[in-house]
Amino acid sequence: MEPVRIPPFETFYEEHKDPVFAHLRRLLGQGAEDAFQETFLRALRAYPELRNGRHLRAWVFTIATRVAIDETRRRRPMASPWLHELAVEDGLPPHAELGHLTDNLPPKERAAVVLRYGFDLPYDEIAAALGSSEDAARQATSSGVRRLRERSKRS
């Protein structure tokens, strides 16, 4: 299959800025502005290394989701030894726990799995984030989970 031409970064940005911001707004609320800037800064740094423009939307949504995970980790209050009466959550939030587990999945599957099981988004919102149909979002999620199960069986 022939590689898809990669557009200039400015074109890429114009095409993806609104859906990425809406996605980050759903995930982070008021913290979306900083995460938005960080997302496109990371994308700009990596852009020259891209060799195929086929999955740019999934790629940028994966970056945005990872930035949201990083932001959530950063916001998470640290337990202070003198605040024993406050309950501290064990482990990371579900979306943060999925981050390292899904690192080796293809970008579209990674984004679909994290959005579905980490952020509990419905398939219509996952489809909007990925720029696909609900059926394609379900398929990407299912394929990603299948790969994760196969990997865990081999481990």
Quick: pLDDT tens for 43-54.
Answer: 999 999 988 887
Nearest by Cα to 119 from 92, 91, 94 = 94
Residue 74: is its pLDDT beyond 90?
no
Q: Write down the pTM of the prediction.
A: 0.58
Please tell me the distance from the alpha carbon of residue 149 to that of residue 134, in angstroms, as a whole number. Answer: 22
Fold of the CATH domain 9-76+91-154 = Butyryl-CoA Dehydrogenase, subunit A; domain 3 (1.20.140)
> Is residue 134 a contact partner of residue 127, using CB atoms and an 8 Å limit?
yes
pLDDT at residue 132, as a whole number:
83
pLDDT at residue 77, as a whole number:
53
Helix, strand or coil for residue 81?
coil
| 1 — pLDDT class (breaks 50, 70, 90) | low
Which residue ranges make up each domain of the chain?
9-76+91-154
pLDDT at residue 99, as a whole number:
66
| 82 — pLDDT class (breaks 50, 70, 90) | very low
pLDDT at residue 60, as a whole number:
92
